[in-house]
Structure 1
Amino acid sequence: DLLEAELFGYEPGAFTGAGRKAKPGKFELAHEGTIFLDEIGDMPLEMQAKLLRVLEEKEIERIGGIRPIRTDFRLITATHEDLGKLVEAGKFREDLYYRVNVIRIDIPPLRKRREDIPLLIEYFLKKMKRSGKDIPWQITDDAINFLTNEYHWPGNVRELVNVLERVTSMAEGNVIRLDEILPFTAEWKKEKYKITSDYFKKVTAEAEREALLKLLEQVGGNVRKAADIIGVHRTGLYKKLKKYGLRL
């Protein structure tokens, strides 16, 4: 089991694919430190039992090992699930629930803390500098207003990061406009946002680029086959690949 090997480590030759050298797991490496387990509500029941044993006995055994290894760490967990309901449904161990539910911090969804959105946008855009360029990203006021006050963010901060990554990867300049953001959110389909010439070109270009990527994957990078399938000359296809920055 990949998760068990990652958390507990393994001895040489413990399973097919194991290396020739022993590998300590995350629990072992976290001794006298802190370990963070995300989405603990999705952890299989069998692994929950093993985690509980580690927390109670403060010892682990590597896969294929026979020697207990002492480990004492602070555990921080996160989940989008209601663990109490999972306990009632028999999907989460009650004894483990009381072990991990000591100090609880409930983080509201992004739509309920909209004042954080401009700060998050500024933070993530600073991390998304254009390759080979030091020009910082800018974003228009109407785009900020839409992201902060109008969009409901069902995917929370992860969706915000995804939208920013996608729009910055497609942007031609360093200023992000509202019409560039709308295609990457569910709201762009609403009638109140009119289709403009620039917006239409943007959406069309994105669709063509994605189609070319899938086509090249389908033909194993064979330009002649790809050109035949879409009915264009190879020269024309090369121009399209160059236009969208696609490499074979």
Structure 2
Amino acid sequence: GVDCILVGDSLGMVCQGLPSTVGVTLDTMAYHTASVARGLQRVQGTAWLVADLPYGTYAESREQALRSACTLMQAGAHMVKLEGGGWTAPTVEFLVQRGVPVCAHLGLTPQTVHALGGYRVQGKTDDAARTLRRQAHELQDAGAAMLVLEMVPAVLAADLTAELPHCHTIGIGAGNGTAGQVLVLHDMLGMNLGKMPKFVHNFMQDAGSVRGAMEAYVQAVKQGRFPDNALHAW
């Protein structure tokens, strides 16, 4: 029942006209985070504000990750998000021990999409599912409080949701069995100029306004009507 705003690097990508999230800088993310934080303050909003750590701002060392996280927290974020499993668990633990709430991200990770061979469903084979499950538990044990699961089979995402009592799952293309849902704003408003991903629904087409579309999305998620596993999941 908690509303959450994710200031993702996809926002920076769209605003800067970049072809991928790799080109988004820490300064750009700090700017957008500060803008959203001011908006929340003005309307006395209570949404949880999560900001993406951009590509190249946390992989070099745990200390680099902490410096980057501090920049986003000082800009107004309540939590930072980083992508990947395995090597990220020690970084997550390092940040959490120093008072930085962390959201992890497994499955399709946009910052490393080229290494994954493109925008493909992750965790489909038994071996891939075992790896993803192991990484999810490692991230929970490291202290991650939230976990984005992107483009993973709905059954696997639902299983992980049940298995991770201390790490709330947020699905995007992961079925309706996760604890919460997220969509890129431009996608759910039908503003994507390319082919729409399977897991996206254009809420703008029947709403008549941006506010109406956002309210329709929230209502559909909370009522369990979106996503529909038969239409939006694997």
Flag the structure with higher strand content.
2
TM-score normalised by length of structure 1: 0.26
TM-score normalised by length of structure 2: 0.28
Flag the structure with higher helix content.
1
